[in-house]
Structure 1
Amino acid sequence: MDQELRLQISQWLSDWGVNSTPSDGVSTSVLVFASLVLAMIAYLIVRRGVVRTMNIVIQRSKVNWDDIFMGHNVLEKFSYIVPALVLDLLLPIALTEHHLMSSLMDRLLSVSIVIILIRAVYSALDAFNEIADVNLVSRRLPIKSFVQLFKLFLFFVAVIISISVIADQSPLYFLSGLGVATGLVMLVFRDTILGFVAGIQLAANRMVSTGDWIQMDKYGADGAVEEVSLTTVKVRNWDQTITMIPAYALVSDAFKNWRGMSESGGRRIKRSVSIDIHSIGFLSEEERVRLSKINHLKAYFAAKNDELADFNSQVDDADMPVNSRQLTNIGTFRAYLKEFVSNHDKIHKDMTLLVRQLAPTSEGVPIEIYIFTNDTRWGFYEGIQGDIFDHIFAILPEFGLRVFQGPTGSDIRSLKADKR
């Protein structure tokens, strides 16, 4: 096709009275210069006319994706193909009498066209990847991995075509030899192949996406996923360090993804406070009257007073605490905490809400709060959790309870001094 077009151009030059097969150096130089001028004119027409007009249209459009293409200079890079094509058509004609030079220029220009085309397609792929990031498509599919794989494929195609053009052989000749080197290719591109397969699995099962908070102790990763590429997953840890994890490691090894927490709208608080066993006891009548004035306990005391009165009325010697049912300060405290967190405006009411007593230990009786905040942002979550436990520590003395605190060296010395 290329040769037919050149013959047609030679015929047109002959019809116009121009010798298309110059035999002297001056005529050759003139035709080479004319080819360069025509290539420059073609470039200016495309660059200043077509590309500039399209950029103006893009700037005035209401969509954003075309602005990203313009930002990557995709049209500008495609415009370089036009002068290269003009030179590829005209220079071999101008150098007809110089067969070696004509053949060399023809091959070099053909390779240049391939390089320019691949470079322009690379820019278009980068723009496509950025569009996917802006529209959050990358959170569902590993677009960057597919883009990198397609770039790698285009690179090999360009190399094979370029070598076949320079060697003046069919590309199929080199492709047939590639099959022999399949084992070497598998060895060299092992991580790339494993990464691509892992990327498909990660996307199909939605195991990890850009923006997810993942934790993988084996690789020291604990932070947000910034990028899922063909071979690696880039994680920015909370201390602002960067961890690069092989993509296939996320398929073969265990890791924790906190996306479920973010999507649920609730973040768990699971923390306990240890109560000193020596501070636990029955409520006196005075304490019951005082605590019954607490708003969160009014309904509790009203129900419990009737329940205990009915039970104790049927028991002999009910004035003995061991025979009757009595309210304890720790039980009343648990009831207060349950009402307190249930009415807290920062607690998720549709998720698990527990205030429970755990098995006693050498450090006292743990009272655990198992609830979910309705704000999953880290800073706000820590603030809510801190406010709740600030209140718990401050309110304990109202119930006659103390937090267990192991004695320090100075406390032990003071105890010994008191015994003396």
Structure 2
Amino acid sequence: MNIPEFQTLFGELRNWLESIGLTGATLIYSYFFTGLISVILFLYLTIFLTRQLFIAIVKSAKTRPDWQKALFEFRVFRAFAIIFGAYIVYNVVPFVFIDFKTGLFYALIVAKIYIVLAVMFAVNAFLNAVVSIMESLKKYADKPIRSYKQVAKIVFYIVGFVLILSIILNQSPVYIFGGFGAVTAVFILVFRDPILGFVASVQMSAIDLVRIGDWITVEKYGADGEVTEINLTTIKVRNWDKTVTIVPSYAIVSESFKNWRAMEESEGRRIKRHINIKISSIKFCDEELINRLKSIDFLKEYLNQTQQQIAEFNAENTVNPNNLVNGRHMTNIGTFRVYAEKYLESNPYINTSLTFMVRQLQATENGLPIEVYVFSKEKGLKKFEEVAADIFDHLLAAVPYFDLEIFQSPSGSDIRSFVGRANDWA
């Protein structure tokens, strides 16, 4: 439908009103309100029919169901139908306000703004649908698509704002854009976070720092969990305690954080924990202790071989056997460390092809730490903790068999027991 046809329709409307005897101001206002109501009804009808036409075209094209779902969910068809309706309104306004010159001036401004807003609404709906479709594809599931969507929206909103401002001021959009040079500093200040976020999103995508689904730890912001959303300015992390932490996007690029993805993609997850041994319980192994330890399957062969090597060394070096400090002798702490290694080697949940050791750390006021540094084949949190707990349950229970003691700070009951014994001695 073109402008001459609108002119013909409204001309017929005016002739009909005159034919029923309306004249003067009555004719003018009757024509105005009748035309206005007709335009509103025609607008709704146009939007409805246009939307149905778009839907029929998409369905006949046999597009993918997930695409159709996204287009319907974000009302893309309705948004584009509104653009067509806005165009109709703009062409009809001159005939409705033909008797009101001042009203026509303002009505045309409103109609132009309505067209701009309709286009912005349509672009917004289309971008939401496209992002929804891309996020459903495995190829883009771990990409910060929403960040790019938000940047595109900001650009369109700025352009739309400039166009609306140019319509209101009756100035060229080029003139409005030219004036932005004077407020660049203010613009950068206002949009500091989006600008930093966009740059960070590009960097994260380029060097693959963070993906949706990654487990990250950002100590500064108290984040420790799975990345569920990457936006232009923020990254949403669902922590393991089910709370949610919002981390600024630029913090991932400019500050330190830990991404556990490499661990999840590797062949194991590290177990790095220690047991504090009471130093006063460390001693050389005497014959009685060695014979007792030979009943442990993991140690029998080791003890026999080591005893033979020590005996040969001491014989060659004419060591005085009356003092254990002379020559070489096994210690209960060293034997326990060997036992821990052999026990871990037999554990089916430990990956011995990765770093594998049981080592001593620097002695402290809390005793001598014996650290287990191995990798579990189980990487899921629950199963991993079960594997680690089973290992240390066993090792802690095995310590007394080596005449060793676990260091433990005295508790209230220990002090009361000691005081009670002291009173008995007194």
Residues 216-260 of structure 1: CA deviation (Å, up to 9, x unaligned): 333333443333322233334444444333333333333333333
The residue that corresponds to 1:251 in the other structure is 253
Distance 1:192 1:332 in 2: 60
Percent of aligned positions with the same letter in both sequences? 34
Matched, 1:74 2:76: yes
1:300 corresponds to 2:302: yes
1:351-396 CA-to-partner distances (Å, cap 9, x unmatched) read: 2111012233333322111112222322222222211111111112
Q: Give the 3 Å change call, closer, same or farther, for CA 175–368 of structure 1 in structure 2.
A: same
1:64 to 37, 56, 66: 66
Most deviating of 326-335 and 302-311: 302-311
Pairing 1:389–2:381 present: no
Please report how far the alpha carbon of residue 289 of structure 1 lies from its aligned counterpart in structure 2 after TM superposition. Answer: 4.0
Structure 1 unaligned runs (5+)?
none
Contact 2:143 2:212 in 1 (8 A): no
What is the identity, as a one-letter code, of the residue corresponding to 2:251? Answer: A
Q: Which amino acid aligns with 1:355?
A: V
Aligned to 1:227: 229
What amino acid maps onto 1:228 in structure 2? I
Q: Per-residue displacement from partner, 1:245-293 (whole Å, max 9, x unpaired)?
A: 3333333333333333333343222111122233333334454344334
Structure 2 residue runs of 5 or longer lacking an equivalent are 19-26
Counterpart for residue 48 of structure 1: 52
What are the within-5 Å matches in structure 2 for residues 22-171 of structure 1? 25=28, 35-51=39-55, 54=58, 56=59, 62=64, 64-135=66-137, 141-171=143-173
TM-score (norm 2): 0.82
Q: Contact conserved, 1:315 with 1:323, CA < 8 A, in 2? A: no
Of residues 187-196 and 313-322 in structure 1, the stretch that sits farther from structure 2 once superposed is: 313-322
Count of residue pairs brought into register by the alignment: 412
Q: Displacement, 1:210? A: 3.2
Query: Residues 68, 306 of structure 1: CA spacing in aligned structure 2 closer, same or farther, 3 A cutoff?
Result: farther
Contact 1:201 1:251 in 2 (8 A): yes
Native 8 Å contact 2:142 2:213 kept in 1: no
CA distance, structure 2, for counterparts of residue 154 and residue 21 of structure 1: 45
User: Structure 1 residue 146: deviation in Å?
Assistant: 1.8
Q: Secondary structure at the match of 1:347?
A: coil
d(CA) in 2 for partners of 1:406 and 1:44?
79
For 1:333, the equivalent position in structure 2 comes to 336
Query: Which region of structure 1 is more displaced relative to structure 2, 365-374 or 204-213?
Result: 204-213
* Partner residue, 1:198: 200
For 1:361 and 1:101, locate their aligned partners in 2 and report how far apart those are by CA, in whole Å.
88
Q: Secondary structure in 1 aligned to 2:46?
A: helix
Q: Does the CA contact (< 8 Å) of 1:358 and 1:367 recur in 2?
A: yes
Distance 1:165 1:406, change over 3 A: closer
Shift of 1:157: 1.1
Q: TM-score, normalised by structure 1?
A: 0.83
Secondary structure, counterpart of 1:273 in structure 2: strand
Matches within 5 A, 1:262-281: 262-281=264-283
1:416 equivalent in alignment to 2:422: yes
AA of the residue aligned to 2:110: L
- The equivalent residue for 2:24 is none
Q: Give 3-state SS (helix, strand or coil) of 1:109's partner.
A: helix
Corresponding position of 2:179: 177
Distance 1:259 1:310 in 2: 51
- Whether 2:346 is the aligned partner of 1:343: answer yes
The RMSD of aligned alpha carbons is 3.4
2:358 corresponds to which of 355, 358, 381: 355
